[in-house]
Amino acid sequence: MNTYHNLTVDETIEKLGGDTKNGLTATEAKKRLSRDGKNKLAEKKKKGILRKFLEHFNDFMVIILLAAAAISFATSIMQGEADITEPIIILAIVILNALLGVIQENRAEKSLESLKKLSSPHAAVIRDGKETIINADEVVVGDLIKLTAGDLVPADCRLIKTNNLTVDESSLTGESMLTEKDADIVLDLLTPLGDRKNMVMSSTSVTSGKALAVAVKTGMDTEVGHIASMLIDNEPPQTPLQKKLSDTGKILGTAALVICGIIFIIGILQHLPPFDMFMTSVSLAVAAIPEGLPAIVTIMLALGVMRMSNHNAIVRNLPSVETLGSASVICSDKTGTLTENKMTVTSIYSKDKNLTVQLAALCCDSNGKNPTENAILNFAQSNGLNKTDIDKKYPRIAEIPFDSIRKRMTTLHRSPNGFQTIIKGAPEFVLPFATHINNGQKNIPLTQASRKKILIENSKMTEKGLRVIAVAYRNDNAKSGSPTERNMVFAGLIGLFDPPRKEAADSVTICKKAGIHPVMITGDHAGTAFSIAEQIGITNDRSTVITGQELDRITDTELKEQVKKYNVFARVSPEHKVRIVKAFQANGEITAMTGDGVNDAPALKIADIGCSMGISGTDVAKSASDMILTDDNFATIVYAVHEGRGIFANIKKAVQFLLSSNIGEILTVFSGLLLSGAPPLSAIQLLWVNLVTDSLPAIALGLDPCENDIMEKPPRSPKKSIFANGLWSSIIIEGMMIGALALLAYSIGINIFGTCEKGSTMAFAVLSISQLVHAFNMRSEKSVIRAGLFKNPYLVGSLIAGLLLEVSVIMLPQLSKIFNVAPLNFLEWIIVGAISILPLIIVELQKLFSQILKR
């Protein structure tokens, strides 16, 4: 077994054939990727097309139907007739249904696969001497990897250099304590996994500091890969809605089986051919049992999340789509989410502005990732201070990185006279370390009057909506040094402006109309936060602002009682975010929370909808979230809620349509048998109705555009069933309507046009076409004519396709003979058309009366 924790850095690099300066060449990396495979854990083998297809025949009732068709075929041969028409048609319809199911399943699967790729982590590697960002699954053994706070470690690595590096290894070792790492030590061969301080392991996360490391194991060879076999066979859990509909389907399926059994018994009692009655009963069971409801939900959720990904919202798991539509509170970061994240230095308070800017620039990293530091460096450049030049004069030799607890960054530089320590951060976290102030000529003691003046200037800047950075320093003449945060000299304040996003105010207005409470959560000063919140309409009342310091003084119980009155939480830490989310949830609110840093992960995890930032977010935050905003925009969260509501509404439409249609089919056969002594429809006709009317309109309803007023309604309670607010009543009444209309056509065919064959044909046509028309009723709870009858082109397409298929079956002699139907003349088609359009008229009148009663 290859081990590296017991080797020095040089021995490790030599063993791997790497380079600590330039990394691997692109050519060598390509060879290793080809040799070792992608850096990812093995997944459960996907089902092939054939297996998926055959699984559609695994349903008990379908097996019985096919067996009955085979018996029918065998019986006809024994009787010397060899009539294979009905068995072949039954088989063809079942195969068509299976093909449609496979196509839809594949489409949903591909949608979800593409989302996985969009949300996959990345890694910063050095190849050919240049830093480049690649997908984590492209990391190979020997790659040089740069790690910073918030990164997920992409492979098992031997550390080469470390700077205050701590790692959360709980996902691998189960230890909740953070582990400090040190590249310089060499360990004993038998050192346990949790004590290998010179190694970082795949799937663990960097919580603070920086490091340079070399990948020593990838994919299934990593430590986490050794336990991956326990994860491979896990099936993805059903969403709550899928579970509910699966249970509902089982209940309705049992009821349908009982009714089909009764139909069979009635037919036998009325001396109808037992085998024909058996085929009719089984076909009705196959057509009416809603076993595909959970699959319909999956397809609609998959289609919905693909639409959302095209609008910068990548949903990482399907259940969160259901939750989105119920969101009642959105807790959003300020910087970059409500604002543009385009910082500019607009104000400086200092007796020596040039010195203040130079110190701030030295205490900045030049990687371009931090908008605040970018603004400082751009301002320095415009004032003749080049970052590269001053770094050469004052080279950085140590640092204490910024984090959300310290709210400051400290660097140590070699200077011409010794060492210089610089602190840059929030004024209240820098000023306490200052004992002196630079007056433009020399350093003098920092008096209480001077402190007061600094705080007044800080308040002036924050009231204008500026982010304020304080800068302090100290010079040491010693021969060696380390960052020392005491007896600092205050240099000045830098004010940076980050304008609100243009669309933020509109999105806040939409939230309020939708019954959603928009909340700003920020690490910025209360004055800065309030100024921006006022500009975008979150609040105009200063009393609705609370700071982290004030939060610390109240208990969780008090916060629960008071939380809903606050619109802005300023100067908060990640720990405060967790308390805020829990307080809203304790009030029954469905809470969305944004976050980008490694310390935001706990809040993102416990929020009902955790939203991480795609641009500024760390891999740790992304992995903890339910949704990634690829544009870091508050408006995208609001759009996602809008879309979540629309997806749920469309699922509800499809469920209502499918169940009412199924009830209509059952009632048609059951009532027709009781009233006339014979079933109005044959086995083949029932299966055809199911094929034409169930699949295409249901999927088309899943693509229905959202109603214009969908964000003018209060959030849906997740505790409410999909069948709440009278949906079951509507389904049963609509099913009775469809059944009654089919029986009306059957009666007209028998009594006016004189034959059972005409009656059966007209009932067959009305049952199919009326359901296609009824699908349009599902589009809106209001008048569908006002909502736009032809606004959904997919639904119009399903109507046209269904009509063409139905007319072809009845009017083409070759098909009409197979389906045991009689061609209809012009008058009969007029009657069929008039009856089939009645569902639209009846439901429109019902909606009109409902609106009148509500007034």
For residue 190, count other CB atoms closer than 10 A to its CB: 7
Adjacent-strand bridge partners of 419:
414, 476
Instruction: Decide if 598 contacts 575 (C-beta within 8 A).
Output: no
Report d(CA 725, CA 590) in Å as an integer.
Answer: 20
Kindly tell me the sign of the dihedral angle through the C-alpha atoms of 500, 503, 505, 508. Answer: negative
**Is 109 in a helix, a strand, or coil?**
helix
Q: Are 7 and 158 in contact (CB under 8 A)?
A: yes
| Per-residue tokens: 75 | 């019986």
* Residues 571 and 525: beta-carbon distance below 8 Å: yes
DSSP letters of 266-324? Answer: HHHHTT--HHHHHHHHHHHHHHH--TTHHHHHHHHHHHHHHHHHTTTEEESSTHHHHHH
Cβ neighbourhood burial of 408 (10 Å; 0-12, 13-18, 19+): buried
Distances in whole angstroms, Cα of residue 499 to Cα of each of 339, 409, 743 = 6, 24, 66
Interatomic CA distance for residues 137 and 218, integer angstroms:
9
In the block, tokens 């009692």 appear at 269
Alpha carbon separation from 121 to 151, 362, 716, 742, 755 (Å, rounded)? 9, 31, 33, 56, 69
Phi and psi angles of residue 468, each rounded to the nearest 5 degrees, phi first: -115, 130
Exposed, middle or buried, 118 (CB in 10 Å: 0-12/13-18/19+)? middle
Residues 6+ apart with CB under 8 A from 648: 241, 321, 322, 325, 716
Degrees (nearest 5) of the Cα angle 709, 715, 718? 135
> 276: Cβ–Cβ under 8 A, 6 or more apart, which residues?
267, 683
Which tokens sit at 540?
Answer: 């105009």
Closest by CA to 235, choosing from 102, 45, 39, 103, is 45
Give the pair of three-digit tokens for residue 572: 């908060």
CA–CA distances in Å: residue 517 to residues 276, 539, 590? 61, 11, 10
Per DSSP, the three-state class of 576 is helix
Which long-range contacts does 693-696 make (Cβ < 8 Å, 24+ apart)? 693/661, 693/768, 693/771, 693/772, 693/802, 694/287, 694/292, 694/658, 694/661, 695/97, 695/100, 695/104, 696/797, 696/798, 696/801, 696/802
| 600-603: long-range contacts, CB 8 A cutoff, minimum separation 24 | 600/574, 600/624, 601/205, 602/574, 602/577, 602/578, 603/574, 603/577, 603/578
Catalytic residue among 143, 151, 156, 333: 333
Measured CA to CA, the distance from residue 759 to residue 138 in angstroms comes to 66
Q: Do 681 and 359 touch, CB atoms closer than 8 A?
A: no
Helix (H, G, I), strand (E, B) or coil at 166: strand
- In 3D space, the residue among 799, 771, 772, 776 whose CA is nearest the CA of residue 786 turns out to be 776
Q: Is 333 a catalytic residue?
A: yes
How many Cβ atoms are within 10 Å of 359's Cβ, its own excluded? 29
- Active site (catalytic) residues: 333
